[in-house]
Amino acid sequence: MTRSMEEIRKECPFPIGEENTMFAQYFSKKSYTEVLSGGPLGIVNVTFEPDCRNNWHIHHGAGQVLLCTAGEGLYQEWGKEPVALKPGDVVNIPAEVKHWHGATPGSWFSHVAIAVPGEGTGCEWLEPSAE
Amino acid sequence: MTRSMEEIRKECPFPIGEENTMFAQYFSKKSYTEVLSGGPLGIVNVTFEPDCRNNWHIHHGAGQVLLCTAGEGLYQEWGKEPVALKPGDVVNIPAEVKHWHGATPGSWFSHVAIAVPGEGTGCEWLEPSAE
């Protein structure tokens, strides 16, 4: 369902955190991050304002799992149609697959992102996904 | 906050799932599980009825991470006092540490449990934690 930032704060069990300035260059609009765990698994709660998407990107070496917690989101793999995301949805993003995720144009969206551990992993940021 | 099963269903973004019969022998009361992802990370939403605790147990080889999503819970490591858990709390359970988790006497409780991957991992179930 369409959600405002205040509704996301109530609906999402995890803190919204601070504005994501470190990776802002790879996001089309504002996003917010709260690190839930630094190890042994890197777990971050990511919240997107409406219509915010990250750039196309690739997780090399090991993938990422998204646990959707609030609002309405989108996920797209290269060469496929975008998939709608709602709270409770889980996305297993395989390593080496070019993709993006973010909020729908009309709603805020939150997901927990869990990095799959592996040797020599890293994220390769590519071109914007927004038209 | 104290939560009924119906309140947990509204508050937790993830499905409650089915009654946990497979591991019922290691839980003091009823619990419910929904597998959110089978791989590359084993991720299960676990819901405990009030006063339900699992037995003392040890994750060998690699630990487990708990993301608390609804209600009121407890976590205890051997030789330490129990710790209260609320939505948004994260517990990094190290490998080889004897511990238990569950709901407070007065509230239902849900957490997402994420298995840290590793070689030759396994759970060793021990004696009941409830007095």
Is residue B34 predicted with pLDDT exceeding 70? yes
Residues in chain B closer than 8 A to A37 (CB atoms): 65, 90, 92
Q: What is the mean pLDDT of residues B76-81?
A: 98
The 10s digit of each residue's pLDDT in A81-124 is: 999 999 999 999 999 999 999 999 999 999 999 999 998 899 99
Global pTM value: 0.95
Closest approach of A131 to chain B, Cα-based (Å) = 31
Return the biggest CA–CA distance within chain B: 39
Strand partners, B32: B19, B47
Residues in chain B closer than 8 A to A62 (CB atoms): 40
φ/ψ of residue A11, rounded to 5:
-85, -35
Asked casually if ipTM beats, i.e. exceeds, 0.85, the reply is yes
The 10s digit of each residue's pLDDT in A43-59 is: 999 999 999 999 999 99
The 10s digit of each residue's pLDDT in B98-112 is: 999 999 999 999 999
Q: Do B116 and A41 touch (CB under 8 A)?
A: yes
Q: What is the pLDDT of residue B131?
A: 67
For an interface test with A, the pick among B9, B10, B12, B41 (most A C-beta atoms closer than 10 Å) comes out as B41
CA closest to A34 among chain B residues: B88
Q: How many Å apart are CA B91 and CA A17, to the nearest integer? A: 18
